[in-house]
Amino acid sequence: MANWLRISSRTVANHIKKRMNKGFMGGAVHVNQSSGLWWGLNRGGPVSDRNGRHRDPLAWNRATFLCVQRFKSTLAEKQHDSFLSSDSDDDNQSVDFPGGKVSYTSEMSFISESSQTRVPCYRVLDDDGDLISDCDFQQVSKEVAVKMYSNMVTLQIMDNIFYEAQRQGRISFYLTSAGEEAISIASAAALSEQDIILPQYREPGVLLWRGFTLQEFADQCFGNKADYGKGRQMPIHYGSKKHNFFTISSPIATQLPQAAGIAYSLKMDNKKACVVSYIGDGGTSEGDFHAGLNFAAVMEAPVIFFCRNNGWAISTNVSEQFRSDGIVVKGPAYGIRSIRVDGNDALAVYSAVSAAREMAINEQRPILIEALTYRVGHHSTSDDSTKYRQLDEIVYWKKARNPVNRFRNWVQNIGWWSEQQETQLRNSVRKQLLEAIQVAEKTEKPPLSELFTDVYDHPPSNLEEQEKHLRETVTRHPKDYPSDISV
Amino acid sequence: MGLRNIIGRRLGLGLVRRRKPFSTATCDGDGNGNAKSINLYSAINQALHIALETDNRAFVFGEDVSFGGVFRCTTGLADRFGKARVFNTPLCEQGIVGFGIGLAAMGNRAIAEIQFADYIYPAFDQIVNEAAKFRYRSGNQFNCGGLTIRAPYGAVGHGGHYHSQSPEAFFCHVPGIKVVIPRSPRQAKGLLLSCIRDPNPVVFFEPKWLYRLAVEEVPEHDYMLPLSEAEVIRQGSDITLVGWGAQLSVMEQACNEAEKDGISCELIDLKTLLPWDKETVEASVRKTGRVLISHEAPVTGGFGAEISASIVERCFLRLEAPVARVCGLDTPFPLVFEPFYMPTKNKILDAIKATVNY
């Protein structure tokens, strides 16, 4: 079991609560300052009585958060029993139904479509970067904390420079992580490099953490011959075998059922590793979200489903995306243990992913994490988000709830980071990036032959024939084709 | 699920109606060693046993496969190889294929069953956007070549809209996957083993009409038949007929009838539709000067159109008549009208005569 700390903080809890409560779209979310999950973990057993009868609408949430013992199907059944039953149940009357016993009740009671209060959001740092009192979290070493912060800054600068490069017409497309830097960096920091990543597309921070170089990022965005994807995909569709980071594809949520299959393979090989699959709030509406979570639950596959709920799927607000209390509540319906975390709090994300990883691997089960965050940038360079959302909303999240600033305050207050280091880092990263872009721009494009390779393991005769014809055409009409691709 | 299950079993048991038993006239399978007379589903079952036995990283999964499957193709596998390698999945085709892609991407042989080809469409995105592009988009860093998707396809006499479809043409439009359809038990076993061991994702459609109806001697040993190689299963000189799967038995009957009228038909089993063996078809058409293509799927946009265009491109001056297509109608697959919808023996025979007498 990891070393979980309980820290007393100077911060006034009510103050944080007030600020966070007005914060998130779709309604106020309560800050869960003393997360019960860690109580359960620290004290070595579930606190709740799984067989108890609850009338409290929050009971099931508590059960979800508190119960850390691996439940078998019968235990799951007991949990449901406790969620749905009331004191008036006739305990002697039950039906032996496939999946477990279900008790009868004479009370016609529909399960409420929602609980009265939203599922609280676990966090460790307040908006000013101070540790919240009585908070359970996984301590990070100075080395890890500094690397986390440095990576967050690097990601910010990379986003700024590549975004500008797109605006200058040097690359065709870009998509920033602005506002969500803590999620990809802190979640990556909590994982082992053997853990396999199935990304959506707004998690380049994971690759950065694992050592994908700025040059490698630039090469992909410029689609040159050093790009592992051989210039075949749009910018930001990174992939790196050596970093256990599967190549990004644009379709939404398709990676989730694949994650279940990969995790099942890890399970069969008795690997001490898990799969982490990222997705946005919009992606949870896709059928593959359902398929992925259900398969992972049924197959007892070690997957962490990490949902970045950033409030917006391009222009579609979460209020137009689903009627549930976000994503976290969907986990229990699949039999998946779930937590909601403040995605702009790097320490909370780190702690939640550390705990999720341990449970996923040790108990061979999927875990769902919903991180509340905000897409501060436009969806991509093809989008202007001021057309559909208020500027003050963007500014609020960019300034008051900035995850990078918040984490900086913490590392700086603790004495691990200084103004001088900040300046040095920013200058150095900027310089490296400008160099990387220059090199990537000068590096030649992949040769024409790469158009035809890798469709299959070997090109079939139709592709050989088409390549031959194409080369003849290019010879006849060289001006029709880009001169920087060697034929 | 209940409905599908029941219909599946019924279809499996009630196959025999208008189709005559069909057995391969020639066969690529090694004739040596022991061979027993078995039907097509048993041949598939043998291939799956061999696949699991010869590779401990092979998995078989899908809806209801654990108890043997609604067509009995997976009988005995779970008992022999355990529930970890042969298992039921939730009823979710996109989940089955997505899960299979993930499994295959880790170096496993993922043999996924879609209970009916009619239900493969929810998995279309996973097949087209994911499986087919997995290698290409990663620059060959990753691949899911170990994935084989098996699905029973085609008419069965009483399957109606949703237990009769032949969706092969959709998948033949997708670079990166292979599409394979066997015509008989011996072919099914050898081709399925090739598909499972091929380093590319494959969609393998099984003619469910023939599951019980087609019986022939199938070698008991482990053998594979080459992909992307068509086979001339009947030599002839007046016209070339091209088909695949269950339709070949109908076409062979038409060839026999035509022979009585003195028309010599050459019959080709394409076997692999993507990437397909143009050369064998072209060589035959150069010899006969005439070609007829027949499939159960609707004629418009069917794979026959692709063959037709390719042959016209390659053999235009040699053709002595327009390319003939005898296919399903451009309607949903109908229940009581099935005899009208189908590319039957006499429709083919008429087209043979019309083409030869053009």
Tell me which of B63, B163, B282, B295 is the catalytic residue. Answer: B163
Kindly state the tokens that stand for A37.
């999950």
Q: Which residue of B has its CA nearest to A456?
A: B176
Cβ(A374)–Cβ(A404) under 8 Å?
A: no
Cβ(B10)–Cβ(B159) under 8 Å?
A: no
The residue ranges of every structural domain in chain A are: 4-103, 139-441, 448-480
Q: Where does the pLDDT of residue A19 fall: very low under 50, low under 70, confident under 90, or very high at 90 and above?
A: very low
Is position B163 annotated as part of the catalytic site? yes
Tell me which of B63, B93, B266, B282 is the catalytic residue. Answer: B93
- B181 vs B227: CA distance, rounded Å: 10
Q: Where in chain B is the domain with CATH 3.40.50.920?
A: 231-356
- A487 vs A458: CA distance, rounded Å: 20
The contacts of residue B165 (CB under 8 Å, 6+ apart) are B116, B117, B118, B153, B154, B297, B333
Q: A265-322, pLDDT tens digit by residue?
A: 999 999 999 999 999 999 999 999 999 999 999 999 999 999 999 999 999 999 999 9
- B46 vs B49: CA distance, rounded Å: 5
**CB distance A247–B142 less than 8 Å?**
yes
Those of residues 258-287 in A touching chain B at CB distance below 8 A are: 258-266, 268, 287
Kindly list the residues from chain A whose CB atom is less than 8 angstroms away from the CB atom of residue B147.
none
- A368 vs A378: CA distance, rounded Å: 26
Burial zone of A119 (CB within 10 Å; 0-12 exposed, 13-18 middle, 19+ buried): buried
- B94 vs B63: CA distance, rounded Å: 12
CA distances to A109, A200, B63, B103, B207 from B119, rounded to whole Å, are 37, 27, 11, 21, 15
CA distances to A262, A472, B45, B61, B193 from B52, rounded to whole Å, are 19, 47, 11, 12, 10
Higher-scoring residue by pLDDT: A17, A430: A430
Coil, strand, or helix at residue A484?
A: coil
Q: What residue has token string 């975390």?
A: A341
- CATH number for the domain formed by residue range(s) B231-356: 3.40.50.920
**Domain spanning B2-219: CATH superfamily:** Thiamin diphosphate (ThDP)-binding fold, Pyr/PP domains (3.40.50.970)
Q: Which residue of A has its CA nearest to B87?
A: A299
Q: Where does the pLDDT of residue A114 fall: very low under 50, low under 70, confident under 90, or very high at 90 and above?
A: confident
User: CB count, 10 Å around CB of A164?
Assistant: 13
**CB distance B139–A461 less than 8 Å?**
no
Interface test with A, best of B130, B141, B180, B306 (most A CBs within 10 A): B141
Strand partners, A138: A4
**Min distance A366 CA to chain B CA atoms (Å):** 14
Interface test with A, best of B137, B200, B307 (most A CBs within 10 A): B137
Kindly state the tokens that stand for A237.
């569709």
- A126 vs B170: CA distance, rounded Å: 54
Select from A377, A328, A376, A206 the least CA-distant residue to A277: A206
Coil, strand, or helix at residue B70?
A: coil
Question: How much of chain A exceeds pLDDT 90, in percent?
Answer: 79
Q: Where in chain B is the domain with CATH 3.40.50.970?
A: 2-219
**CB distance A455–B176 less than 8 Å?**
yes
- B330 vs B156: CA distance, rounded Å: 18
**A53 pLDDT more than 90:** no
- B28 vs B227: CA distance, rounded Å: 12
Residue in B103, B129, B139 nearest the CB of A454: B139
**CB distance B95–A251 less than 8 Å?**
no
Strand order of the β-sheet with B265-269 is B231-234, B265-269, B239-243, B291-298, B324-328
Kindly list the residues from chain B whose CB atom is less than 8 angstroms away from the CB atom of residue A291.
90, 92, 94-95, 98-99
- Among positive and negative, which fits the CA dihedral A259, A263, A264, A266? positive
pLDDT for the residue numbered B32: 55
- Calculate the average pLDDT of chain A: 87
CA A93 to chain centre: 44
Average pLDDT over residues A409-430: 98
Cβ(A299)–Cβ(A266) under 8 Å?
A: no
- B218 vs B34: CA distance, rounded Å: 8
pLDDT for the residue numbered B353: 98
What is chain A's percent helix, strand, coil content, to nearest 5?
A: 45, 10, 45
Please state the pTM of the whole predicted model: 0.89
Interface test with A, best of B63, B91, B94 (most A CBs within 10 A): B94
Coil, strand, or helix at residue A338?
A: strand
Q: What residue has token string 């996109």?
A: B94
**A328 pLDDT more than 60:** yes
Q: In b/e form, how buried is each residue of A348-373, taking b as 16+ CB within 10 angstroms?
A: bbbbbbbbbbbbbbebbbbbbbbbbb
Is position B296 annotated as part of the catalytic site? no
Complex ipTM more than 0.90, yes or no: yes
The contacts of residue A478 (CB under 8 Å, 6+ apart) are none
According to DSSP, the β-strands at B58-62 and B86-88 are parallel
Cβ(B277)–Cβ(B230) under 8 Å?
A: yes
According to DSSP, the β-strands at A4-7 and A135-138 are antiparallel
**Min distance A246 CA to chain B CA atoms (Å):** 7
pLDDT for the residue numbered A79: 47
Coil, strand, or helix at residue A169?
A: coil
**CB distance B278–A461 less than 8 Å?**
yes
Q: In b/e form, how buried is each residue of A399-426, taking b as 16+ CB within 10 angstroms?
A: eebbbbbbbbbbbbeeebbeeeeeeebe
What number of CA atoms fall less than 13 Å from residue A352's CA on the CB side? 37
**CB distance B275–A461 less than 8 Å?**
yes
Q: A195-221, pLDDT tens digit by residue?
A: 999 999 999 999 999 999 999 999 999
**A455 pLDDT more than 80:** yes
**A236 pLDDT more than 70:** yes
Cβ(B279)–Cβ(A460) under 8 Å?
A: no
**Min distance A240 CA to chain B CA atoms (Å):** 7
**A61 pLDDT more than 60:** no
**A17 pLDDT more than 80:** no
Q: Is A425 on the interface with B (CB under 8 A)?
A: no
Residue in B90, B97, B178 nearest the CB of A298: B90
Give me the phi and psi of B219, to 5 degrees please: -55, 140
Kindly list the residues from chain B whose CB atom is less than 8 angstroms away from the CB atom of residue A246.
105, 138, 142
Instruction: Report the Cα–Cα distance between both ends of chain A, in Å, rounded.
Output: 57
Higher-scoring residue by pLDDT: A27, B331: B331
Alpha helices by DSSP H, listed for B113-269, are 124-125, 134-137, 168-171, 185-197, 210-213, 247-260
Interface test with B, best of A238, A454, A467 (most B CBs within 10 A): A454
- The DSSP 8-state label assigned to residue A170 in this structure reads S
Kindly state the tokens that stand for B131.
């499986």
Q: Is A305 on the interface with B (CB under 8 A)?
A: no
Kindly list the residues from chain A whose CB atom is less than 8 angstroms away from the CB atom of residue B55.
none
Q: Where does the pLDDT of residue A32 fall: very low under 50, low under 70, confident under 90, or very high at 90 and above?
A: low
- The DSSP 8-state label assigned to residue B8 in this structure reads H
- A300 vs A337: CA distance, rounded Å: 12
Tell me which of A109, A250, A418, A449 is the catalytic residue. Answer: A250
- A369 vs A337: CA distance, rounded Å: 9
Strand partners, B199: none
Q: In b/e form, how buried is each residue of B62-87, taking b as 16+ CB within 10 angstroms?
A: bbbbbebbbbbbbbebbeebeeebbb
Is position A216 annotated as part of the catalytic site? no
What is the fold, at CATH topology level, of the domain defined by A139-441? Answer: Rossmann fold (3.40.50)
The one-letter code for the residue type at A23 is G
User: CB count, 10 Å around CB of A72?
Assistant: 10
pLDDT for the residue numbered A115: 85
Residue in A254, A262, A292 nearest the CB of B106: A262
- The DSSP 8-state label assigned to residue B240 in this structure reads E
**A75 pLDDT more than 60:** no
- The DSSP 8-state label assigned to residue A242 in this structure reads G
Cβ(B153)–Cβ(B147) under 8 Å?
A: no
- The DSSP 8-state label assigned to residue A217 in this structure reads H
Cβ(B114)–Cβ(B102) under 8 Å?
A: no
Give me the phi and psi of A152, to 5 degrees please: -65, -40
pLDDT for the residue numbered A31: 56
Residue in A251, A453, A457 nearest the CB of B200: A457
**CB distance A287–B122 less than 8 Å?**
yes
Which conformational region is residue B107 in: left (phi greater than 0), alpha (psi within -120 to 50 degrees), or beta?
left
- B200 vs B177: CA distance, rounded Å: 6
As a dihedral over the C-alpha atoms of residue A36, residue A39, residue A41, residue A46, rounded to 10 degrees, the angle is -80
Kindly list the residues from chain B whose CB atom is less than 8 angstroms away from the CB atom of residue A265.
102-103, 106-108
**CB distance B98–A257 less than 8 Å?**
yes
**Min distance A95 CA to chain B CA atoms (Å):** 21
Kindly state the tokens that stand for B258.
């035509």
User: Along chain B (358 residues), what's the average pLDDT of each consecutive run of 10 residues?
Assistant: 42 43 46 85 98 98 98 98 98 98 98 98 98 98 98 97 98 98 98 98 98 97 98 98 98 98 98 98 98 98 98 98 98 98 98 98
Interface test with B, best of A197, A246, A247, A276 (most B CBs within 10 A): A247
Q: Is A241 on the interface with B (CB under 8 A)?
A: yes
Q: Which residue of A has its CA nearest to B91?
A: A291
